[in-house]
Amino acid sequence: MILVASIVILAIALRLNVPLTFARFSRPLMVAAATRNTLACIPIAVETMTRELRASQETCELYIPIGFATLRFGTMLHFAVATMFIGALLGRSFGVGDILMVAILSVAASFATLGISGAAALAPLAGVLRPFGLP
């Protein structure tokens, strides 16, 4: 949902056709899915934005690496899904407010994973689980 919303917002901001913008982002998305490596996606994302979508090169070269490094969608999604899964295993139900809180906490906890990987990146998951009384 975040990915689709960001592409739609980008299309509106650049005054482009939304289906065209989705088509142009197919290459960076394929690289992202194939490699699961943010660093591998930066050059093709900058190229797509500057050459195919005609965005400012200086802006893209500044904000794309910063965004890829700090907005870790995979980690956010992992924390949210893990919380919902652990809650389901333990019989905890989540209301709409709880789901919104899981999303907010997952985004906040993902910033704690910057620069770390592996099992150490799971430690911030406790910050998402604890408010719901989950171990």
Give long-range contacts, CB 8 A cutoff, 24+ apart: 34-37.
Answer: 36/74
| Tokens (6 digits) for 20 | 């065209």
Reduced to 3 DSSP states, what percent helix, strand and coil does the chain have, rounded to the nearest 5?
Answer: 80, 0, 20
Task: Tell me the percentage of the chain whose pLDDT exceeds 70.
Answer: 100
Residue 90: CB atoms within 10 Å: 11
Averaged pLDDT for residues 93-109? 94
pLDDT confidence of residue 120: 82
pTM passes above 0.75: no
Quick: pLDDT tens for 31-80. Answer: 888 887 778 889 999 999 999 999 999 999 999 998 888 877 778 888 99
Query: Residue 34's pLDDT is what?
Result: 87
The 10s digit of each residue's pLDDT in 117-129 is: 778 888 899 999 9
Per-chain mean pLDDT for the chain: 90
